[in-house]
Each structure stands twice: as structure tokens, then as C-alpha cells.
Structure 1
């Protein structure tokens, strides 16, 4: 397993942040997991180490939100995400993670700017096979490449203004399905070697701590501040992704 202490200085808070976000608090911040770990190791290795931990978090999240999810939205999103994951798998040798990060970051910032400037359309958008299929596929692709499926998922789901618990439960079920679908391609690409799996096992006890903390915080926050916090998270994540990608691509 990885023995560098600097890795664990970055990885421990990264795993806790991902868990708290997946537990339903500060949605969007979970996307920071791979970038934080990538301060010490490669983004590809960070993604491989994080995937088993995400699957463990998903089990806790599924139990916590087992009665709260929107099945009609999931029927649209999950098949589309599977297509996006397939595209990510077939283009794995061609696509640079920096380009994906830049695109996801720009989409997240445009989406958040629409909210903060008050330019949203009147009314609450409902489910849409066309929009859900598009954003679900994008979420699957970006999740496969960099565990960065959150912003595309939020672009489709947040404007629906679901009850906050129903929204988080839908997110938990969606990303559980996405993470399961990613396992065979990751295996085929040789990303689950002994070093990565042993390192993931060492970090695994942090998974339930983070996600249960997120569940607790979720139930303490009223709905309106919750949604504002979600959009704030999307904004900060978008800035982080654009900044990192710009440094890598144009420095």
C-alpha cells in the first residue's frame, strides 16, 4: 500500500469530505476528493483508490435513504449514465482528465451563475427524458473519468426543487448504480492493483464516519438554506475545477 505520510494528510480529509457530501450535506463538495488526493498521487490512481471507498459509502447511504428516492428520475438517469460510462471506457486512452475537468467546471459555473443572478425561468422544471438522458450520460462519463458526476447530475436535478431528503436519496441511489457500473471497466483497465486496493482498505473505516456525519448535518439544515448551500458548493467546485484544469493546460 502507499506509505507516504503526505498522501494520508491529503487522503483522510478527502475521504471525509466525500462522505459528508454523499451523506447529504454540502452537496457538490464530494467532487473535491480526487483533486485533493491528486496533490500527492496521479489523478488516475486517486480515482482507483477512491472507487471502493465510494462503494462502501453507497451501502451506508442506501440504508440511510432507503425509503427516499425518486424512481421516475432514476429510470431516466441510470440507463443514460451507463451509456456515458461506456463512452468513457472506450475513449479512456484518448481523453485527458484536464479537458473533462475544464468542461465540467464551466458547466457548473454557468449553472450556478444562472441561480445566483436570478435569471431562472418561472416555475419549477419537471422530469424530462431528453434533458435527463443528456445530463445523465454526461454525469456517467465525467464520473468514470474523474468521479466528477455531481455537477451534471445537479444541473438536471436541482431545478426540480424536490424535497431535500428525496433529492439526496435520489443522488445516493444514482451514484451507487453509477459506481457499480464502473467496476468492470476499471477492472479491465487494470486500475485495481494490490497497492490501490490495500490503500483503499486502510482508508475504508473513514467511509461510514463521513457519510453518517453528512446524514446528521443534512437533517439539521432547513430546506431553503440547504439548496443555497448546494448551489454554493457547485460554485466553489466549478471554480476549483476550472482553476486546476487551466493551470494544467495553459501553464
Structure 2
């Protein structure tokens, strides 16, 4: 993995963006880093590169949100995620690079479509997914999509939006759940050879960037409206998702 100007121009903004989201500002948007990186790296490389960084962001975020999560919602999502991660590993093992590009691209574009539909009132999750069963179900979907492209946020949000949690409790629940999901993903990534040793040369650049992003996200959580952040996210995801889909199909 070559650390050159093109790599840094894509990776530093992507990781900073993910750190800000992980810190609590623009929750659920952290996975935008993966489609951005997949434009310059093989999809498996992009996903593997991000996992240790996301795990570090999880640990950095835990201190600020420790004990503020909803135990019952976190437990359902965490338990449901286990079979989802196993299924994700099976999918990843048996799919081509173009298949991965297509899946990452579809998840990116699908995330934007989902958020827009929900914001305009076309999807009402508030009364639909409150039963305990849905916690396990959406936990499994989160485990699957998180394994493929670190995109577990939208499925978990679908469940948590109906739980009437406060902003901080919601963020704390997602932090502890994805700390767990990323932890159980690690041995599978290792076994599938997705953790490239060449990525070690990038971490002197990316680790400080990730920590700065988390710091900004925690500070911005209670201070700044998220509208602009999400608009930027949607534009980036639409462009990168469409590019990945086009590359996969052509």
C-alpha cells in the first residue's frame, strides 16, 4: 500500500469524517469513509484498513458516553449482530472484487435514499420496530452490513429511532454496540486476510487524524446543528456510491 499524495488526499478527509461521526456528530455517517477509500483501493483493502481505525475511535468515544446507553436496546442489537457478522464473513469469502464494489456502492446509495425517505415522512419507523424481536433482527442486519462496508449504522438507527431515547443515550448505545461489532469482526478479517500489513505504513498519518476527528465530534455533539454535515455526507455517498456501482458493472 503506497502512501502518496493521491492516497492521503482521499484517506485523511475520509478518516477525519469517520472520526467526527464516531465522536457523536452525524452519527451513522462514519461508513462514508469506506466508499471514499474504495475509489483508490481494492474494496477489501479499504474495509480492512478502516477496521483498526474504527476500533480505536470506538475506544476513544467510550469514555465520553460510558454508562449512558440503554442496556436493553444495546443487548438486543449486540446479540443479533453475531449471526450477521458470520453471514458477512461467508459473503465476503465468496464474492469477487467487483461484487464488493457493487455491494459497497449500493449500500452507500441506499443509505442516502433511506435517510431522504425518512426525513420526508415516507418511512415511519417510530411505531413499526419497537418490539424486542426487531432489536435482534436489525442487529443481525447491522452485523452483515457492518462487515461488508462498516455500514451498520442505518439498520441500527431503524430500530433505535422508535425507542424514544434521548440524543446522548442514542449515541452512547450506538457507540457500545459498534465497539462490540467491530471487536467480533476482527478475527474474521484476520482470517480472511483483509488486514493488510502494508496498511501499517499509513497509520502514522491516519491515527492522529482519527483521534482529532473523534475530539471534534464529541465537542460538536451538543453545540452544532448536524444539517450541513449530513448534506455533505449525502453528496459524497451519492457520488462515490454511483462511481463504485458504475465501476463494478463496466
TM-score range, shorter chain: 0.7 to 0.9
Deviations 1:38-93 (A, max 9, x none): 22211211111111111111111101111311110111101111111101112223
Which sits farther off after the overlay, 64-73 or 156-165? 156-165
- In the alignment, the residues of structure 2 paired with residue 200 and residue 122 of structure 1 have an alpha-carbon distance, to the nearest angstrom, of 39
> Distance between the aligned counterparts of 1:217 and 1:87, measured in 2?
35
- Compute the TM-score of the two structures, normalised by the length of structure 1: 0.86
In the TM superposition, what whole-angstrom CA distance separates every residue of 1:123-159 from its partner, at most 9, and x where no partner exists? 6566433222222111111111111112222222224
Aligned residue for 1:39, secondary structure, equals coil
Identify the match of residue 212 of structure 2 among 200, 209, 213.
209
232-241 or 65-74, which deviates more: 232-241
Match of 1:145 in 2: 148
What corresponds to 2:61 in structure 1?
61
Residues 42-57 of structure 1 aligned to structure 2 (within 5 Å): 42-57=42-57
Q: Which residue of 2 aligns with 1:187?
A: 190
More deviation in 180-189 or 132-141? 132-141
Corresponding position of 1:248: 247
Deviation of 1:107 after TM superposition, in Å, equals 4.7
Pairing of 1:26-41 with structure 2 (within 5 A): 26-41=26-41
Structure 2 residues not aligned, in runs of 5+: none
- RMSD of the TM alignment (CA)? 2.7
Structure 1 contact 65–169 (Cα < 8 Å) conserved: yes
Which whole-Å CA distance do the structure 2 matches of 1:206 and 1:122 have between them?
Answer: 35
- Measured against aligned partners, the alpha-carbon deviations of 1:159-208 in whole angstroms (never above 9, x if no partner) come to 43421111111111111101100110011112223212332354112222
2:168 counterpart residue number: 165
Shift of the alpha carbon at 1:14? 0.8
Distance 2:158 2:82 in 1: 18
* 236-245 vs 24-33, greater mean Cα deviation: 236-245
Question: If the length of structure 2 is used for normalisation, what is the TM-score?
Answer: 0.86
Residue 98 of structure 1 is matched in structure 2 by 101
Q: CA deviation at 1:242?
A: 4.8
Aligned CA distance change for structure 1 residues 160 and 245 (closer, same or farther; 3 Å): farther
Query: Secondary structure at the residue paired with 1:64?
Result: helix
How far did residue 103 of structure 1 move? Answer: 4.8
Structure 1: where are the runs of 5+ without partners?
none
Deviations 1:224-247 (A, max 9, x none): x55x67976785576356523431
Aligned residues: 247
